[in-house]
Amino acid sequence: MTASSSGKGNVCVCDVAARDGLQSEKRIWSVNERVELINRLANTGIQRIEAVSFVNPKRVPQMADAEKVMAQIERKADVRIAGLALNMKGVERALDAGVDEVRYVVVASETFSQKNQGASIAETMTGLESIAGRVKASGKVFSAVIGASFGCPFEGEVTTSAVVDIGIRLGALGVDEILLADTIGCAVPSQVRERVGALQSALEDSTAVGCHFHNTRNTGIANAVAAVESGVRILDASVGGIGGCPFAPRATGNISTEDLVYVLRNMGYETDIDLPQLINVAAWVEGYFDDPLPGQVMKAGLFPDDVIARQAATSVQA
Ligand code: ZN
């Protein structure tokens, strides 16, 4: 079924729909609905899920009850469950709730840091040493997301050196993975290649670089391909392409997981994901929305699979 089987290796896809996808939805998903979404995703063979966010429920009511969600989901040995935290309190909650990976967010621009974290860049970086020590002592994976890595909704341009400087400081603290997040979906592929390359050459090999793209300006999949071709092997996406950011004006959804997996599969990369099953999850998610979701493969179908299936059906009839 695979269009290309040149075996280009594994790309780890992390579905963030249960967190980034739902955090700015008008209709607040119940704990049971969030648990079912995570369980359905886990059954597709996906390697990672960003399941919850340990933020103040007064600021982001959609993400309340993270502990209840964590307690109810089915855990699988080969699915890493990540939880997002913005401060030490969130990190402690994440560890108590049993996440496999703590994702800590820093932001590359000062104004967005104030709006998103309620703290300056300096403040988030100051607390980071003790947070890194706490997570590393727990034996869990510690990753850091650099928000607004390609542009800020308030300040505009964010320079490569600003992002690399933060990356170097994170790397020095022993962060396992650094994700460049295009929070407002403004990046283009040439910028991705340049920024990923600069960060990779500034970091030790022990710190992996990942990317998190939003499709706000329809550049998300092109950016993901540029990232993979630059050596990135960790990519975030959200099933159906749902999502946004409550603190970034006009932010829209992540690239859709099934569109990303389709591109990767047909380019010859492995993701371990059962793509038809993932499309079924996207269709299930769509049932909770009034409008069609942004994902396109869920509408168009797989290629060449659908063609092969149609040919088989025709030949049976003949
Ligand atoms: Zn995001």
- Lowest average pLDDT, out of 77-81, 112-116, 186-190, goes to 112-116
CA–centroid distance, 213 to ligand 1, in Å, is 7
Q: What is the pLDDT of residue 2?
A: 45
Cβ-contact 238, 253 below 8 angstroms:
yes
CA 251 – ligand 1 centroid, Å:
9
Sorting pLDDT into bands at 50, 70 and 90, what band is 6? low
Q: Is the pLDDT of residue 249 over 90?
A: no
> How confident is the model at residue 318, as a pLDDT?
56
Residue 181 has pLDDT above 70, yes or no: yes
CA of 239 to the centre of ligand 1 (A): 13
Rounded distance from Cα 314 to ligand 1 centre (Å): 43
Q: Is the pLDDT of residue 265 over 80?
A: yes
Q: Which residues of 48-76 are buried (b: 16+ CB within 10 A; e: fewer)?
A: bbbbbbbbeeeebebbbebbebbeebeee
Homologous superfamily, domain 12-317: Aldolase class I (3.20.20.70)
Alpha-carbon span 85 to 89, nearest angstrom? 8
Q: Cα–Cα distance between 32 and 17 in angstroms, integer? A: 15
> In terms of Cα–Cα distance, which of 284, 291, 293, 301 is closest to 254?
293
Res 78 pLDDT > 60: yes
- pLDDT at position 143 is 97
What is residue 23's predicted lDDT score, i.e. its pLDDT? 92
Question: What pLDDT sits at residue 127?
Answer: 84
Provide the whole-model pTM.
Answer: 0.94
Report how far ligand 1's centroid is from the alpha carbon of 6 (Å).
31
Q: State mean pLDDT over 136-160.
A: 95
Identify the weakest region by mean pLDDT among 101-105, 137-141, 166-170, 242-246: 242-246
Pick the catalytic residue: 14, 152, 186, 245? 245
Residues 6+ apart with CB under 8 A from 139: none
What are 41-73's pLDDT values in tens digits?
999 999 999 999 999 999 999 999 999 999 999
Pairing status of strand 48-53 against strand 12-15:
parallel
Mean pLDDT of 216-237: 97
The distance from CA 38 to its chain's CA centroid, rounded to whole angstroms, is 14
Per-residue pLDDT, 252 = 82
**What are the structural domain ranges in the chain?**
12-317
Lowest mean pLDDT among 4-13, 173-182, 201-210: 4-13
Cα–Cα distance between 210 and 179 in angstroms, integer? 4
Ligand 1 mean position, distance from CA 181 (Å): 7
Helix (H/G/I), strand (E/B), else coil: 207 = coil
Q: Catalytic: 211?
A: no
pLDDT higher than 60, residue 5: no
Residue 153 has what pLDDT?
87
CA of residue 92 to ligand 1 center, whole Å: 22
Q: How sure is the predictor about 243, in pLDDT bands with cuts at 50, 70 and 90?
A: confident
- What percentage of residues in the chain have a pLDDT greater than 90? 80
Mean pLDDT of the chain: 93
Q: What is the pLDDT of residues 266-317, one digit of tens each?
A: 999 999 999 999 999 999 999 999 889 999 999 999 999 888 888 888 876 6
Nearest to 246 by CA among 87, 25, 16: 25
pLDDT reading at 104 higher than 80: yes
In the predicted model, is pLDDT for residue 250 greater than 80?
A: no
C-beta neighbour count of 36 within 10 angstroms: 17
| Ligand 1 centre distance from Cα of residue 257 (Å) | 13
Ligand 1 centre to CA of 315 (Å) is: 46
State the distance from the centre of ligand 1 to the C-alpha of 140, rounded, in angstroms: 22
For 191-213, what is each residue's pLDDT tens digit?
A: 999 999 999 999 999 999 999 99
State what percent of residues in the chain have pLDDT above 70.
95
pLDDT of residue 24: 86
Distance CA 72, CA 34 (A): 10
